[in-house]
Amino acid sequence: MALDSETFDALLDTVRRFVRDRLRPLEAEVEAADAIPDDIVAEMKAMGLFGLSIAEEHGGLALTMVEECRVAIELGHTTPAFRSTFGTNVGIGSQGLVMAGTPAQQTEWLPRIASGDIITSFALTEPDIGSDSGAVKTRAVRAKDEAGADIYRLSGTKRYITNADKADLFTVMARTGDEAGARGVSAFLVPRDLPGVSIGEPEKKMGQKGAKVADLNLDDVPVPAANRLGAEGEGFRIAMRVLDRGRLHIAAVCVGVAERLIADCVAYAAERRQFGKPIAEHQLIQAMIADSKTEALAARALVLETAAAKDASRDVVLESAAAKLFASEMVGRVADRAVQIYGGAGYIADYGIERLYRDVRLFRIYEGTSQIQQLIIARETMKRGG
């Protein structure tokens, strides 16, 4: 259920001011420290940002998809690392639980996820399993614990797991039984404090400093059978539903970053003078700004239209993939043009453009590469055409 317009407008204005007054001034500091300040995280919790997508009965804001995307666009006006701080709680780290969790599972975990008291992560990718997500090798073997209770013993390694360094709860995809392919994959809620869970050192990344990724290692971890999400063999379907939603959220962030870059380019072009006049008066600069603005508007329209369709309970597998493909590729082009408009200054760290140029490169990879989105779009188009 959507918030009333006055309440939502107040939330959006609060987020906008938070981004402008608190987050943007800290961008260089976060880049240098590769960490989000604790006081900023506390403010995010107080604003309810960790529970944007979680039901009110569990302490969340219960935003619609359109509302969530509009908030995500505003958050895209600063370095994406800030959004990643709570992004897994809002999206891939919580939505398996929201979509497939039992009432008992939801009551146990969702209130603490919505408050930010615990951080969640989504563990699908493995060292040699990326886009072929139905081929996961992590095993979940049925067993009994010392008291005779039903458990699964999980063994394997998950790679490039966002927020793994601080996560308290992981949604883990693991293979149950002997069936090969996607039908043999099941989903589990794995608390960090179970014996056999360990986290690797955070990876050194090209961009989005402050948002950490690391390996999740599972060494014969005893997971209660009550922590399985859905039935055995439903894990892949749950993962795909989670990713469909996550792609739309990421597409909205891409729109926000593009809007930020365009605004920065317009301001810079109005001040920077060459050949006796502001470079904004040179037509080739205007062409780059025009192309960027047009693409950003198209991406915004596609994202919000798809979000509205999702809120109406329509099948948006194709549209979510298209939104993610177009928006992530679009923001890459906008960032490239921004560096060109800034010229030499665009290559210098002090201006922040090169940082955003590096930050947005990831959008074409996670939640499914652009090539995976193309396959989904083609498959769904042919399915609907048939």
Catalytic residue among 67, 319, 367, 380: 367
State the Cα–Cα distance between residues 99 and 34, nearest whole angstrom: 33
| Contact (CB, 8 A) for 116 and 50 | yes
Is 319 noted as a catalytic residue in this protein?
Answer: no
DSSP class of 211: S
| Contact (CB, 8 A) for 215 and 199 | yes
| Contact (CB, 8 A) for 152 and 173 | no
Place of tokens 């365009």: 262
State the Cα–Cα distance between residues 93 and 173, nearest whole angstrom: 12
Separation in Å, CA 9 to CA 2, 61, 140, 297, 316: 12, 14, 46, 21, 26
Which residues face 158 on adjacent strands?
216
State the Cα–Cα distance between residues 239 and 109, nearest whole angstrom: 18
The H or E element containing residue 273 is: strand 273-274
Separation in Å, CA 121 to CA 21, 25, 30: 29, 28, 21
Separation in Å, CA 241 to CA 96, 99, 234: 8, 8, 11
Question: Which stretches of 108-224 are assigned E, i.e. beta strand?
Answer: 120-123, 139-144, 150-162, 169-176, 185-191, 197-199, 213-224
Mode of pairing for the β-strands spanning 273-274 and 277-278: antiparallel
Distance of CA 381 to the CA centre of its chain: 25
Core vs surface per residue 207-245: b (16+ CB within 10 A) or e: bbbbbbbbbbbbeebbbbeebbbbebbbbbbbbeebbbb
Report, as residue numbers or ranges, the catalytic residues.
367
